[in-house]
Structure 1
């Protein structure tokens, strides 16, 4: 196992070169031209570095995806990494890839191109050392994670159903680079309230305000949040009315729901789907649902983390920690189908922020940890 870290450490300069190259290839989620260029680069680079096989999955509306395989076996380990970023085209001109005091900066370097590069070099090290597994490793590099996986969700779920376990190369949490053994599920809802319009000065009693009703519902939903269980309702956007002198006929809201468990999800869903009007003469329509199920810390997930923690302690000399994340990832889709361990990407900070960064000295360490996990969980051939 120790040879894995030394092999990756020897490739550290090359790893940084590849990191720079992929950061300078921008990939905004909705810019198909740029994302497709990155997909071609990832497919080609995977084959060059690992000796594996890759396939670009054409996608008419959003960016193309990449499915890649390394090794062989009847069973498979699934690895997830998204190629898209939240940064618009030409951000690289304002936020160029730079290195200062051992920290690399650039759009998408932390979320999550750094993890993608670490994953490639982990498999390269296994190949270079002649370490063969009893399970094949399947990588899915998707192109639309940042916008809710409109075209990759089904693909991810189908691969998860065929997998023994799943690793996600999203960045670690906090300055410790903690792994993510829990991720909240995400629900997105749209509420439309219909009241009765009237003149606010001449006939106020004849009207029923949709805005007033929406205010009641907002207070109600927020009161149903429970920080102890991790369930939160957030009415994040509202609009309505037509003029200040008109009792509002229409009002709308967008609601974010977060839950930590399927049990809480089943409890919370009826609260929003079955909203009851507080005012007479008002109609409420609710649309939407769960976008991503929760990634729960099952016994199998806990065992995966325990394996990673032991490898980090025994071979890499650091204490690996775990945390819960309120955000969602591709791993939320795989969690109902296979044990999923998330946060195996870089150590850094600033996801979606102007100071987005990764700690370069930690990239070989975390890449080695991932390679060791593949070797341990994949069952090395004798």
Structure 2
């Protein structure tokens, strides 16, 4: 019996040899930089913050239209929990029964409506293109779709069927899309994630796990001037809880706690009755992070006259580079060399939908999108020269993985 690894290597060598013999390899096969950038611009100019369901669905409409124009078919899945729909794109004739390659992309962004008009308009300055969500991650999503369309236009079948899933809620933890991602991952041999490359062009072969919590504190309101002593401040209690939470950060273990959003009170002259904090936690893996998760969930009030309620938990398991991911990265690095790319990899503190697939044992490469910087900021941008080589790398991965 031939071993899976030997079979994988033989298939890869055959595919690479065929690609080298093909004179069309010298042509970009109808993927052109200016056309790709124009399509990316049209996607960026459709603002799609996660909590604007209609806007996200408009973006999903556009993705389906682009796929249809490129000769691909799609399926649409209704969102849940009030979030937008999800779209699965695949080649004609793919009944989704065969194990394949799952490409993961998200079309929701963090920028509020109006950012494209007032604060971060699409613009090109030298080799850089700016716009809300252009780096995280509409460019990467479009690059993968362009690669799939290129293969269909060439009439080239792939050893494994390629499917690209566009989700609507990655930026808030994939609450709606996670069941669908995991369902599709069960039929996947590989997962390729179009999150942006690290600023140096590195791709991601490991990610920390994430947890999210909401802490609600209830006190007793009172007039701050005439009855101050009768009040019990929810904000004071929350302030003490925040110090406890931040003190749980342990850099040696790779655990960080960040209280990133707080709300509370109704006026400066009122002892506040309520206060709320949103908490982010990062960890190398679930086993390492679980004791801290349990400490957070067990938080008790400093002031017994107040109530503290906390909800949440681990929402993305961590993963690290294993033998299967190492083999997949090595294959990608070999392909990248054809385009003058010296591919390097890193482990990232940020989470993505690749956390789900990797935790299920699916070899996963992440950060395959463009080079750039400024994710979630008003200087978010991509490096235009990175578009073509990384799009062609993506196409070659689809064409050779077996």
Q: Give TM-score, length-normalised by structure 2.
A: 0.81
**Does residue 307 of structure 1 match 2:327?**
no
1:30 corresponding residue in structure 2: 51
Q: Deviations over 1:117-165 (max 9, x none)?
A: 2112212333344432231111111122223333222211211122112
2:191 corresponding residue in structure 1: 166
2:85 corresponding residue in structure 1: 64
1:89 corresponding residue in structure 2: 113
2:72 corresponding residue in structure 1: 52
Superposition deviation, residue 306 in structure 1: 2.1
**Does residue 367 of structure 1 match 2:387?**
no
Superposition deviation, residue 358 in structure 1: 1.4
Is 84-93 or 339-348 further displaced after alignment?
A: 84-93
Name the SS of the counterpart of 1:40 in structure 2. helix
Superposition deviation, residue 25 in structure 1: 2.7
1:181 corresponding residue in structure 2: 205
Cα distance in 2 for residues equivalent to 1:277 and 1:147? 28
**Does residue 98 of structure 1 match 2:98?**
no
Q: 1:5 to 1:65 in 2, by over 3 A?
A: farther
Name the SS of the counterpart of 2:258 in structure 1. strand
Cα distance in 1 for residues equivalent to 2:77 and 2:170? 15
Match of 1:258 among 260, 282, 287: 282
Name the SS of the counterpart of 2:314 in structure 1. strand
Q: 8 Å contact 1:9–1:364 — kept in the other structure?
A: no
Q: 8 Å contact 1:28–1:84 — kept in the other structure?
A: yes
Is 57-66 or 17-26 further displaced after alignment?
A: 57-66
Q: 8 Å contact 1:193–1:250 — kept in the other structure?
A: yes
Q: Deviations over 1:218-277 (max 9, x none)?
A: 333222211132211123344556788988775543322111212222232112122345
- Count of residues paired in the alignment: 375
5 Å-filtered alignment, 1:16-27, equals: 16-27=37-48
Superposition deviation, residue 167 in structure 1: 0.6
Cα distance in 1 for residues equivalent to 2:148 and 2:110? 27
Unaligned runs of 5+ in 1: none
1:349 corresponding residue in structure 2: 373
Q: Give TM-score, length-normalised by structure 1.
A: 0.85
**Does residue 319 of structure 1 match 2:353?**
no
1:143 corresponding residue in structure 2: 168
Q: 1:10 to 1:54 in 2, by over 3 A?
A: closer
Q: Deviations over 1:343-379 (max 9, x none)?
A: 00111122122222111111110011111222222x3
Q: 8 Å contact 2:205–2:321 — kept in the other structure?
A: yes
Q: Deviations over 1:42-86 (max 9, x none)?
A: 11211322x221123344743332111127572111001112222
Superposition deviation, residue 15 in structure 1: 1.4
Q: 8 Å contact 2:104–2:165 — kept in the other structure?
A: yes
Cα distance in 1 for residues equivalent to 2:268 and 2:127? 56
Unaligned runs of 5+ in 2: 1-18
Cα distance in 1 for residues equivalent to 2:109 and 2:292? 31
Q: CA RMSD in A?
A: 3.1
Superposition deviation, residue 330 in structure 1: 2.1
Match of 1:230 among 223, 244, 254: 254
Q: Deviations over 1:311-369 (max 9, x none)?
A: 212x1222111222222222223222222211001111221222221111111100111
**Does residue 14 of structure 1 match 2:35?**
yes
